[in-house]
Every structure is written in structure tokens, then in C-alpha cells.
Amino acid sequence: MPNKIDLLMGDDTACLASSVLFNLSHVLFNGEDEVVAMLSITAPEIDVENARTPLNLVAAIDISTSMQGAKLRTAKASLAKLVEHLGPDDRLSIISFGSDVRTVFNSDFMTGPNKTVALTAVKQLAVSGWTNFSGAMMESFATMNKYEGKGGAINRIILFTDGEPTSGVTDEGQLLDIFDKALNENISVSTFGYGKSYNAELLSEMSKRGGGSHYAVSDIEQCAAMFGTELGGLLTTYAQNIRVALNLAEGVTFNGFMDTAYEIDGQEITLPDILGGETKNVLVKLKLPKKTRAVCARESKVLDFRIEYDDLQEARRKDDSVPARIQYVRRKDDVSSETNLEVQGQIDLLEAAAAIKNAQRMADAGDLAGARESLLNLSRDYSSVGRRESFYSPQLSTDMLEMAEGMESNRGYSATRSRLVASSMAYSTRRATGTLNDAMFTNAGQESVAAAFTAPVTPAPTVPPSSSSSTD
């Protein structure tokens, strides 16, 4: 398989840190228990000030007439901030799309003079026509294909829109077919949806397939912080093309991955980019075989996780093998009576993502009351007195309650629907979308860049002319 970096495997240099936990630490030797194994992969922190991988970005911005006013002004301001934060080794192209698709700034390095040209192009953006989403998508990939893979850069397409495709190809299935044919493993895609009427399913599915993030911008004031979160993630990307394969011990049955937001091929799962300081978790459902009493003498291997990834800091492909062992016990009284809270927290997130999707399907079918009640019941469950509280329980309870309250009427559901789509993706990928408590998922780099994007601009001090100055 072609790759933008050399495939050097099994070296002894620094790599991702990996560990395994089970939801149950002790199981009965002859019980044939069903367990959940959680692989945690953590990337080292990245110093974005002194050493990071260059970026190759294509920003495609919707300028259709529905973007008139505050939407376009805020998008332009955020895009200008993006330009200002890029360095001379980073590439940027800016594409605008209404009925027509135009490249308003050709892909180039963000040197001082080129930044000035790019900022002028951003300033001159004005609304025009319908929403030619397919044209923008094809032009974005065509532009990216000219430069992706050069210099080992991180290649990201960022799409901004506030509505449905209304020009060019408008069928969602055809659009995703075009997207899949254009996408390759070296290009990722993030999407921003503005307001209440954009196609949340289309944009979230594109970012899911493209290994990026989807942001639901329900409040214009959120826009700058979300742009900052996106850029902060790009600046701190540690590894890409992460593949995890399972090697099961004899008699162990694979009952599936609990993670459904990622590409799965049998007993192999592919994860999106991992950021510096970020932890990615993979949850696997397994059934254990009966054992003899002798196995209780020491921990027993259940499986090996085989991990391969592109290390962007060292420009090489690495691999690792992580064993997962569990303790069998002889007596029922010694079996784990409570689930590991770290594992349970991740299970909670995945179950919440599935519950939100189910509530959305119910509401779309007309059962608004049933959808609302299902979210309220989930909120009560996460806050119940008898429940062992995982790290995410309080925030999940609050979020489920807020989403349920948004379903009190058809009008309320219309306003909150995009949040449900984005939140379900956030929980399933454990990535911030701006729709819930970002501190649950963001890293330090994202938080600092987001803060810089939202900081008010301080005017330069006025310097009075010197009395000793002279004219030529």
C-alpha cells in the first residue's frame, strides 16, 4: 500500500504508549464470561512552537446567499485567524462556492507576503448564488492532490456550509460516492455546519469517512473557538493511519468492536489521527473459554493487540504488540463484582452515542415524545444514586437532559437536531465538536489555540510623531 512516508517497522525509538484494561479484572476459570477489553493508545505531547509537522490545507467556504450577514462575517474572521496562525512551511488554498466554484487563493506557503494576499482574498469574499457543494468538493480534492504527500505534510480539507446542496450534484448518496472515490489515506476531511438547516448527516458522515471532525455551529459566537480547536488539533497531530489488529488466544471468541465510528474489517480497526497528549481507546467484546483450575496460578493471555501507525515526528511507520492478560479465579466470591470505572466511562460514551442516534430516528419518524423520554431516562440513569459514577456520568446526564428539553416541540427539535447528530459523533469518536463540554476531549494544544482564536484583538498603540523627525 503506497504511503507518504517510508515504512520502517519495529524500531526502538519512542512510540505511542499502549495499555489494556478489562471491565472485569477477575473472572471464574470455568464461567465462560463475556468481557470487554479496552486498548488505550496515548501519544506524547508535541511542542508546536519548536517542532511540528507542516500543514497542507484546503479551506472551502460557502458563499451562497444564505450566508449573508453574521454567518459570512464570522466565517471570514475565523478564516483570517487561521491564515495568521499558519507558518512559512504550511500550505493553504482557499476555495469559495456559491453557484460557481472559484479558487480565490491558489495553494501556496504561508510566508508574510502570501499571508497578505490570502487575507485580502478572504476580505473580498461576498455572497453569491446557490450551494454547489459537489463542485466545491471535487475542486478541493483536485487541489489537494496536486500537493499532498510533498514534504510529509498533514493534508486536511476543511469545508464550511450552512445549508443543503442546491446546485450541481444534490443527491446525498451520489455525493458520498464522489467523496469516497476522491478520498485516500493521506487526506483527511473536517466539516463545519452553520445554523439549523445544514445537512448534518452528510457533513458528519464525510468527516467520519475522512477521519476528521464535524463541528455543529449552532451559535455564531462558537465559530472562532471551533476553528481554533480544529487548528490546534492539526498542529499537534502525532500519528496517522493507525491500524489495530487482534490476535486471539486459543478458545477466545471475538464478539465485535464496540467502536462503530471507525473503519472495521473483520478483526482489524482503523483509527483517525491521534493528537499529542491524546488517548485513543478501542473496546472489544470477547467471550472467554472454560479453563482448568491450574490457570488460576497466574494471569492468562487473552489476546495480543497489533498496532501499526505513521509516526509524523520521525517520518516512519512503526508497529507494536500489546498483550492483554486477565486473572482467572477459582471461587465465585473472588470474581469482580464491579466494572472498572475507566472502561465503564468509555462504554458510557459509546452507549450514549447509540442512544442519541436512536432518539433521532424516533423523532424523525414522528415519535417526538418517545425520543424525548428515552433521553430523559438515560439522563436519570447517569445521575441515579445507586449507579457507580464514571468520569463522564455527570456531563452525560446534563447533555441528555438538555437534548431532551430541545425536543419539547417540532420547532425545538428542528433547532436542536444538528446538535444530536454532532454530539453522537463526538461521543463515538471522543472528539470535541463544540456542542458539549470540550474539556472532555480536547488536548492542551487545542485549548490554547482556541483561546488565541477567541481573544479580542488589541489595537496597536499609537506612536506620536517624533519632534526630531524631518522630511526629505
Give the model confidence (pLDDT) of 21-40 as tens digits: 999 999 999 988 999 999 99
pLDDT of residue 462: 41
User: How much is the pLDDT for 149?
Assistant: 60
For all residues of the chain together, what is the average pLDDT?
A: 86
* Low-confidence residues in the chain, pLDDT < 70: 1-14, 48-51, 149-151, 432-440, 456-472
For the chain, the residue count is: 472
Gap between the Cα atoms of 408 and 416, Å rounded: 11
For the chain, the C-alpha Rg in angstroms (whole number) is: 24
Domains and CATH numbers, the chain: 17-48+238-337 (2.60.40.740), 55-235 (3.40.50.410), 342-429 (no CATH)
In 10 A of CB 334, how many CB atoms?
A: 14
By DSSP bridging, strand 300-311 and strand 263-265 are unpaired
Q: What is the pLDDT of residue 406?
A: 87
The pLDDT assigned to 5 comes to: 33
Global pTM? 0.84
Main-chain dihedrals φ then ψ at residue 465, nearest 5 degrees: -60, 145
Helix (H) or strand (E) holding 74: helix 70-85
pLDDT of residue 8: 33
Residue 472: predicted pLDDT: 31
β-pairing verdict for 154-161 and 187-194: parallel
pLDDT score for 338: 85
